[in-house]
Amino acid sequence: MSQRRQLGQQLRAVVKVLCVSDAPDYEQPWQSQGPINSVGSGVIVETSRGLRVLTNAHCVANHEFVEVRRYGKAQKVVASVEAIGHECDLALLEVDDESFFTGMAPVAIGKLPRLGDRVSVCGYPIGGERLSITEGIVSRIDLVCYAQSNRELLAVQIDAAINAGNSGGPVLKDGLLVGVAFQALDEGEQIGYMIAPPVVKHFLKDLEDGTADGFPALGVTAQQLESRAHRRSLGLTDDQTGGVLVKRVAHGGSAYNMLAPGDVLLAIEGEPVAADGTVELRDGELVHYRYFVSRRHV
């Protein structure tokens, strides 16, 4: 299949998401802030319940009315929010009109891209009404604070432009979904972020039982052990160059009654924890040990 034809098939799975939301007024709880119209993006994916539109949670948060429109089509179709995960900033939309999916193939979810990979960001950002495609390079893979929930989860940094309206749009590589655009860093230039494939897969698998349980956390505050003298004072040998010191364990958390302040966490899932709290993700790429916890299912 030619690249042009493959791209055409992928574009048919890109969706414009139009939402009317009405957020509560927390200072005056007897009234709302009033309706707001917003535009986001989405992509058609296959789930255990059939074809759905995958988008960002913040695109449909406090929704009152949601419509979707396919690429190349003028007609808008009413959609309902089937599931929403504010923690990972993802949501699934259900479209009752089955004809909406006619002639459309869902985009399969690929693997976590590698540093230096070239990717394409598709969506409906500000600056026009039609579909926009920008290209960028994967520049970093790390835990990132998701603005929607203030939770640190795995994300991929790219240098492609991600603007308002791009949110929820697919990031593609070799015909596969390798990320979902969701936020940018205002303090820098050309610093955008996409939700990593493992997070997307976790969200979809989590919904297979009909309940969104979210992403687990260890519930531990830990201190780095980069000082040799500090490690020795804790009884570690000079050969034990890694590990982090547990300073606090959240009451009722995942590690409650399993870890205690003063313990040294040397490994997680058999992977050594370095003195700065990182573990090897793959081929020398490092990520904080919290990722190994959050990728588990509750």
213 tagged catalytic: no
Sign of the torsion formed by the C-alpha atoms of 233, 234, 237 and 239: negative
238 tagged catalytic: no
Residues 6+ away with beta carbon under 8 Å from 167: 40, 41, 55, 56, 58, 59, 123, 181, 182, 183
CB atoms within 10 A of CB 84: 21
230 tagged catalytic: no
Length in residues, the chain: 298
Q: Which of the following is catalytic: 41, 58, 159, 288? A: 58
Sign of the torsion formed by the C-alpha atoms of 127, 129, 135 and 141: positive
Q: Which of the following is catalytic: 21, 63, 89, 202? A: 89
Strand-pairing partners, residue 16, are 41, 69
Nearest C-alpha neighbor of 192 from the set 201, 203, 180: 180
Confirm if 56 and 4 have CB atoms less than 8 A apart. no
Q: Encoding tokens for residue 271?
A: 């992977």
Give the SS3 label for residue 32.
strand
Euclidean distance between CA atoms 19 and 1, whole angstroms: 36
Euclidean distance between CA atoms 27 and 33, whole angstroms: 10
Amino acid at 229: A
Query: What secondary structure letter does DSSP report for 274?
Result: P
Q: Which of the following is catalytic: 21, 41, 132, 167? A: 167
Q: What positions carry a catalytic annotation?
A: 58, 89, 167
